[in-house]
Amino acid sequence: METIDNGAFACSRIEQINIPSHIKTIGLSAFRNTGLKSLVIEKSDDDSEKCMICRQAFKHCMQLKKVYLSKNVCLNDDTVFSDCPVLKTIEFDNPEVACK
């Protein structure tokens, strides 16, 4: 498995997830409106393929407080974490925004 499909976990009660390094795409609204409290997306430095996060993938995660993104993570627009009112910390190693 290399892709987390559009809406795959939407509206679930999942509270925490570490995205494995072999994931290349997190689809549109994949984790929208979940119970996520923390998120880790870590790709190895020697992995030439990025993990692309699609629009609104984590939208409306009302309990999401902490996010870590490694440098091989690519956000395809600025709505990936929209409407996450308690999101306090996003740690990142230079993620690319608006990848092609």
Look at the pTM and tell me if it is higher than 0.85.
yes
Positions in the chain whose pLDDT score sits under 50: 100
**Would you state the pLDDT for residue 71?**
80
Distance separating alpha carbons of residues 47 and 29, to the nearest angstrom: 25
**Would you state the pLDDT for residue 87?**
95
Sheet holding 66-69, edge to edge: 16-19, 38-41, 66-69, 89-92
**Would you state the pLDDT for residue 46?**
67
Domain boundaries, the chain: 1-100
Architecture of domain 1-100: Alpha-Beta Horseshoe (3.80)
